[in-house]
């Protein structure tokens, strides 16, 4: 089989000279141009993405495996997205990363791709780009940090920050203790070690069949991650010979498996948006309602923060994702193909569950506790709520709305002792959607107002067009569609209106007469666009709503790997 890299390195004459000669400048010998698979190692390493800071070392292990199997590894950087650093939100740039990955793969002489990812958006962004090129593709995530430690206890990335912030507000924790917790929380390489978005997307990549079995949970600093990365390097060379492209691995059945796995994991709501976007790149039909339909009967099996108690290190020792998938097999399509070349069922046949961090199928932590999709006059195109992270007593609730038109307005009011709020209030946040913010930040889990925290209130219903961090919790309705900045009904809510949430009935209702809503709609003015040049402008002009995955409209689908033109 002639590989696409042969169009560069196998050429005679001027072009072949140019392609080979400049590569030789790096000290490669003649044999690397003999037609062997060229494996692109697409690296989201950056010191500004601390979760991915060790990925260059991991790349060395992948390269070792590629050489071993007779391939030629070439590592290249792509844009990196550091969740904790990037303003105004890393999500604004997920699609930009996807374009970088897509064009870097298509434009270069590579036959296959290994995607090195970790921090939240780096996994879906890389997968979206690779899906549009459709080469043989294998994901190697960087793995979670070791468990955080503070005062002799385990503390989870993100989750403990939200908890400690409430504790400080309620006077249960001093500022000095709060500061001391910083160094204990993040004490090794790796991504957040709660079942936040990074851990969730690592598990999604594995459940989709795109990462070697067992990869998602191995701690970043565990030597076994490096061994597995070497194995991934070997396997991608075999996949190239087998022409096992991403579209041959991933089907609708793979997405159904991943969605069900996410419910069993108590995984992040962000997976909804990312999986919708990846599926749309591949042309696999997937809709927001599938997330509810596929998960209604799925037991919640994994006792990890933010919904449960433990952390990723515990999850790994308990058997990791293969043990969960084996428990779930009766509910999965075991015939779904994976990057191993074998089916999901074959991959997990020998997996063992070695502690109650992972519950057996018959003794779950709950059933149907996954992502519920809500609809109603407040969210005609849908909204989501993570049931396992919500307070049971608030899942059916009617309350008076207190409305904020920006997160800054909310932050300015949150400590006000005179804030007109009680335990039944529904906090409503507008203009935090994909177009409005822009980039749909993780601010939907608005901090509980200090006044309520001091009274011991730990949760209130919150409704917005924002996302929330996968490490966060609470009775938080997210991703309201259409968003307020495009004139969705969320824009029409006023302080004093009654909002009704009924999760069992999947309903989100604004109890205001239709003629009054029509009057407000006629008065509504779109907010001014915060940025009108560069990427933010392109994004604002083309971003799709959350129910369609927040991709840019012109990036949906595939263009394949052919270029058809020389560069000289």
Q: Which of 54, 191, 231, 467 binds ligand FES (CB under 6 A)?
A: 191
Please, which residue, 81 or 481, has the CB nearer to Mg ion? 81
Would you state the structure tokens that stand for residue 85, as one six-digit string?
Answer: 């650093």
Q: Which of 99, 107, 16 is nearest to 563 (CA)?
A: 107
Q: Which of 348, 350, 349, 354 is nearest to 316 (CA)?
A: 354
Please, which residue, 239 or 429, has the CB nearer to Mg ion? 429
Give the span between the Cα atoms of 282 and 41, in whole angstroms.
21
Give the span between the Cα atoms of 30 and 542, in whole angstroms.
46
Please, which residue, 139 or 401, has the CB nearer to ligand FES? 139
CB of 227 to Mg ion, least distance (A): 29
Q: Are strands 379-386 and 476-478 parallel, antiparallel or unpaired?
A: antiparallel
Q: Which of 88, 52, 67, 3 is nearest to 432 (CA)?
A: 88
52 binds Mg ion (CB under 5 A): no
Helix, strand or coil, per DSSP, at residue 564: coil
Question: Of these partners, Mg ion, ligand FES, none, which one is at the site of residue 119 (CB under 5 to 8 Å by kind)?
Answer: ligand FES
Is residue 143 within 8 Å of 117, Cβ to Cβ?
Answer: no
Chain positions 402 to 421 lying near ligand FES, rule: CB under 6 A, are: none
For 158-196, give one letter per residue: b (16+ CB within 10 A) or e: bbbbbbbebbbbbeebeeeeeeebeebbbebbbbbbbbb
Binding mask 197-226 for ligand FES (x = CB under 6 A): -x----------------------------
Please, which residue, 15 or 84, has the CB nearer to Mg ion? 84
Cβ neighbours of residue 64 under 8 Å, at least 6 residues apart? 230, 233
Please, which residue, 95 or 197, has the CB nearer to Mg ion? 197
Chain positions 146 to 175 lying near ligand FES, rule: CB under 6 A, are: 157
Q: Which one of 108-116, 127-135, 189-197, 476-484 is the stretch in contact with ligand FES (CB under 6 A)?
A: 189-197
Please state, as a whole number, how many other Cβ atoms lie within 10 Å of the Cβ of residue 420: 13
313 binds ligand FES (CB under 6 A): no
Binding mask 68-107 for Mg ion (x = CB under 5 A): ---------------x------------------------
CB of 130 to ligand FES, least distance (A): 20
120 binds ligand FES (CB under 6 A): yes
For residue 509, how far is the Cα from the chain centroid?
28
CB of 466 to ligand FES, least distance (A): 17
58-64: long-range pairs with CB below 8 Å, 24+: 58/116, 58/140, 58/142, 58/225, 58/226, 58/229, 59/116, 61/226, 61/227, 61/229, 61/230, 61/233, 62/114, 62/116, 62/140, 62/229, 62/230, 62/232, 62/233, 62/236, 63/233, 64/230, 64/233
159 binds Mg ion (CB under 5 A): no
336 binds ligand FES (CB under 6 A): no
197 binds Mg ion (CB under 5 A): yes
Q: Which of 365, 370, 367 is nearest to 389 (CA)?
A: 370
Question: Of these partners, ligand FES, Mg ion, none, which one is at the site of residue 51 (CB under 5 to 8 Å by kind)?
Answer: ligand FES
Please, which residue, 83 or 483, has the CB nearer to Mg ion? 83
Q: Which of 397, 395, 380 is nearest to 479 (CA)?
A: 380
Binding mask 459-498 for Mg ion (x = CB under 5 A): ----------x-----------------------------
Chain positions 429 to 488 lying near ligand FES, rule: CB under 6 A, are: none
CB of 83 to Mg ion, least distance (A): 5
84 binds ligand FES (CB under 6 A): yes
Q: Which of 95, 113, 97 is nearest to 49 (CA)?
A: 97
Q: Which of 192, 277, 457, 466 binds ligand FES (CB under 6 A)?
A: 192
Scanning 83-174, the segments in alpha helix (DSSP H) are 94-107, 122-133, 159-169
Q: Which one of 191-199, 337-345, 440-448, 500-508 is the stretch in contact with ligand FES (CB under 6 A)?
A: 191-199
Q: Contacts with Mg ion: how many residues (CB under 5 A)?
A: 4
Q: Which one of 190-198, 247-255, 457-465, 522-530 is the stretch in contact with ligand FES (CB under 6 A)?
A: 190-198
Q: Which of 406, 382, 393 is nearest to 475 (CA)?
A: 393
Q: Which of 419, 413, 400, 558 is nearest to 494 (CA)?
A: 400
Binding mask 12-51 for ligand FES (x = CB under 6 A): ---------------------------------------x
Per CB under 6 A, residues contacting ligand FES are 51, 83-84, 119-120, 157, 191-192, 196, 198
Residues that bind Mg ion (CB under 5 A): 83, 120, 197, 469
């Amino acid at each position: 089989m002639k590989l696409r890299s042969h169009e560069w390195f196998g050429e005679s004459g001027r072009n072949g000279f140019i392609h080979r000669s400049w590569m030789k400048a790096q000290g490669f010998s003649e044999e690397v141009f003999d037609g062997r698979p060229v494996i692109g190692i697409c690296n989201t390493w950056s010191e500004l993405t601390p979760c991915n800071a060790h990925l260059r070392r991991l790349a060395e292990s992948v390269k070792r495996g590629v050489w071993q199997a007779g391939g030629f590894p070439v590592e290249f950087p792509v844009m990196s997205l550091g969740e904790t650093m990037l303003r105004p939100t890393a999500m604004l740039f997920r699609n930009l990363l996807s374009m970088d990955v897509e064009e870097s793969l298509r434009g270069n002489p590579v036959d296959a791709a290994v995607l090195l990812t970790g921090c939240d958006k780096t996994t879906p962004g890389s997968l979206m780009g690779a899906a549009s090129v459709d080469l043989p593709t294998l994901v190697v995530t960087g793995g979670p940090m070791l468990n955080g430690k503070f005062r002799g206890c385990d503390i989870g990335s993100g989750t403990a920050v939200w908890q400690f912030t409430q504790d400080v507000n309620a006077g249960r924790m001093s500022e000095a203790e709060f500061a001391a917790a910083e160094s204990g929380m993040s004490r090794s390489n790796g991504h957040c070690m709660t079942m936040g978005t990074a851990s969730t997307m690592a598990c999604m990549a594995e459940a989709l069949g795109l990462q070697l079995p067992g990869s998602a949970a191995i701690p970043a600093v565990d030597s076994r991650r490096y061994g597995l990365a070497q194995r991934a390097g070997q396997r991608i060379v075999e996949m190239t010979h087998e022409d096992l492209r991403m579209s041959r691995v991933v089907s609708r059945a793979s997405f159904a498996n991943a969605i069900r796995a996410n419910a069993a994991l108590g995984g992040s709501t962000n997976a909804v948006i990312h999986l919708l976007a990846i599926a749309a790149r591949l042309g696999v039909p997937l809709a927001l309602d599938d997330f509810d339909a596929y998960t209604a009967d799925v037991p919640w099996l994994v006792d990890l923060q933010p919904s449960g108690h433990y952390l990723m290190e515990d999850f790994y020792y308990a058997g990791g994702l293969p043990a969960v998938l084996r428990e779930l097999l009766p509910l999965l399509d075991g015939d779904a193909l994976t990057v191993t070349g074998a089916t999901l069922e074959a991959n997990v046949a020998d997996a063992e569950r070695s502690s109650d961090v992972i519950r057996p199928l018959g003794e779950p932590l709950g059933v149907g506790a996954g992502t519920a999709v809500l609809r109603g006059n407040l969210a005609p195109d849908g909204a989501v709520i993570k049931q396992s992270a919500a307070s049971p007593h608030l899942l059916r609730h009617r309350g008076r709305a207190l409305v904020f038109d920006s997160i800054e307005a909310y932050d300015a009011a949150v400590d006000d002792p005179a804030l007109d709020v009680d335990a039944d209030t529904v906090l409503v946040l507008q203009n935090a959607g994909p177009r409005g913010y822009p980039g749909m930040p993780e601010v939907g889990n608005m901090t509980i107002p200090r006044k309520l925290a001091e009274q011991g209130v730990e949760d209130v219903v919150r409704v917005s067009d924002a996302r929330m961090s996968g490490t966060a919790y609470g009775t938080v309705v997210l991703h309201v569609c259409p968003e307020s900045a495009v004139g969705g009904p969320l824009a029409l809510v006023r302080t004093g209106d009654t909002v009704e949430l009924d999760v069992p009935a999947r309903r989100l209702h604004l109890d205001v007469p239709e003629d009054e809503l029509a009057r407000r709609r006629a008065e509504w003015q779109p907010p001014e666009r915060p940025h009108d040049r560069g990427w933010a402008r392109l994004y604002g002009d083309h971003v799709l709503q959350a129910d369609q995955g927040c991709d840019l409209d012109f990036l949906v689908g595939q263009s394949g790997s052919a270029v058809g033109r020389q560069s000289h």
